[in-house]
Amino acid sequence: MPDTLPNLNRAAAKAEGLRPQVLLLKGAEDLDEALSAFRDEGADALLCLEVPRTSTSGRRIAELAVAARLPAMFGRDLARYGPMFAYGTSLAAAARRMADRILKGARRGALAVERVEQPELVVNLKVARELGVTIPPDVLARADQVIR
C-alpha cells in the first residue's frame, strides 16, 4: 500500500497534538504548488521523509521551504541540500563501513546484519538566521554538526 507510511506518520503526529498535512508528490513539477499549499494552510514547519522524491529534489525543496518561511527537517544524509535541520541515522555511513569491511577481506556472506542506532543531528545556522529563528543553546550543544 503506497499510503501506509504517510498514514502511520499522520497518526503519530496527531498523537503528539500536531495537525499534519501530508502531501504525496508525483513529480518535481508538484513542488511549488505543494509548498504554497503548506504555507497557505498555516504550516509551521516542513518534515521531509527520506524517500526518493526528497533525495532527487532536496535542494529545490529546501529552497522553496526557505522562500515560504518554513523551517525544514530532512533525513541525516540529506543535510547537503540545506534544510534547517537534518536528523537520523546515516545510511551512507553504514554503506561505507560495510564496503570497508569487504575491502579488508571480509566475505560478503559472512557479514553480519548491522543496525545503525546512532542518530545524528545537523543544524544549519545559515538557514536559521535567514528565517529569523533562534536555535536554543542546548539544541546546538547536542548537534553533531553545526553549519555556520
Question: Which CATH homologous superfamily contains domain 4-147?
Answer: Response regulator (3.40.50.2300)
User: What is the C-alpha to C-alpha distance for residues 126 and 43, in angstroms, rounded to an integer?
Assistant: 21
Question: What's the confidence (pLDDT) of residue 16?
Answer: 94
CA distances from 13 to 10, 16, 20, 26, 47 (A): 5, 5, 6, 23, 11
pTM, full prediction? 0.83
The tens place of each residue's pLDDT in the chain, 148 residues long, gives 667 877 888 899 899 999 888 877 777 888 998 888 888 889 999 999 888 878 889 999 999 999 999 999 999 999 999 999 999 998 888 888 888 888 999 887 777 777 778 899 999 999 999 999 999 999 999 999 999 9
Q: Do 144 and 121 contact (CB within 8 A), yes or no?
A: yes
The strand pair at 72-75 and 46-47 is best described as parallel
Q: Going by DSSP bridges, is the β-strand pair 85-88/120-124 parallel, antiparallel, or unpaired?
A: antiparallel
Domain boundaries, given as residue ranges, for the chain: 4-147
Helix (H, G, I), strand (E, B), or coil: what is residue 130? helix
